[in-house]
Amino acid sequence: MAQAFHHDFQRFMMEYQFAVDEMLTKVSILREEFLYLHKYNPIEHVSSRVKTPESIMRKVSKRNIAPSLPIIRENISDIAGVRITCSFVKDIYKVLNTLTSQSDLKVIQIKDYIKNPKSNGYKSVHAIIEIPVFLSDGPVNVVVEVQIRTIAQDFWASLEHKIFYKYEGDVPAHLADELAEAAAIATTLDMRMQRLHTEVHGHDADHDGASHTDFDNTAIDNLLSLARESSAEKRKSTGSES
């Protein structure tokens, strides 16, 4: 029995790791494609983690959830986590929309703490997303929490997190006030940076039409003339005049 549970738990954890890997691939493709099409990278940084078994168990007992894998799967949505840091708020929604419109993903919930910040000043967009993972015995849908925030929001959140833990959730009023003020300053900074960026590059980040590639253009030109020759040949041999 214990051995079977160990086996199931290992598999359970593995599914979440694979889900993170799949999500990271998607984000990396988005990033590369965006860079290719627009010569502009909306994603500054990506990080990920799978909750440790200890941390899962802490949440299970805190939330009073039955310690069974299906119930944990259903009730804890942040076992797999991916955090995307963007330069500008605009980019957050761009990334969110592109990601959530992918047909193999199912959006379970979006929490927009930018439109509705938490009372302490926390801002970010959270998307709870189900992603299919293909294992040898078929696909399983795995839930991933994707957090998308600006660099300034991320900076604020990591400091607030440290302070929150240091005071075990009971942050002294003067620090809470300062944090709220710092959050407001971060928001102002985000707005100014975005305004500056727009002033320099225009509303569309696609500021100069030419997309850049790392390919050897001679090779592409050769390929093109080959293709032209071959279709000319084909026309000749079929006698088509169109």
Residues that bind ligand GTP (CB under 6 A): 78, 111, 118, 120, 122, 126, 157, 160-161
Going by their DSSP bridges, the two strands 106-112 and 80-86 should be labelled as unpaired
CA dist., res. 157 & res. 178, Å (int): 13
Q: Which is nearer to ligand GTP, 125 or 205 (CB)?
A: 125
Reference 129, options 97, 104, 106, 111; nearest CA is: 106
User: Would you say 90 or 111 has its CB closer to ligand GTP?
Assistant: 111
Q: Which is nearer to ligand GTP, 161 or 195 (CB)?
A: 161
> Rounded to whole angstroms, how far apart are CA atoms 44 and 87?
6
CB of 206 to ligand GTP, least distance (A): 32
Q: Which is nearer to ligand GTP, 94 or 149 (CB)?
A: 149
Minimum Å gap between C-beta 111 and ligand GTP is: 5
Catalytic-residue membership of 145: yes
Of 37, 61, 35, 190, the residue nearest 121 (C-alpha): 190
For residue 170 the two structure tokens come to 């009971």
Nearer Cβ to ligand GTP (47/211): 47
Alpha carbon distance 221, 235 (integer Å): 21
Q: Which secondary-structure segment (H or E) carries 19?
A: helix 2-38
> Half-sphere exposure of 52 toward its Cβ, with a 13 Å CA cutoff?
3
User: What is residue 215's three-state secondary structure?
Assistant: coil
Query: Looking at 32, 44, 54, 145, which residue is catalytic?
Result: 145
Burial 43-58 (b: 16+ CB within 10 A, else e): beeeebebbeeeebee
Residue of 76, 83, 85, 65 lying closest to 20 (CA atoms): 83
- Enzyme catalytic residues: 145
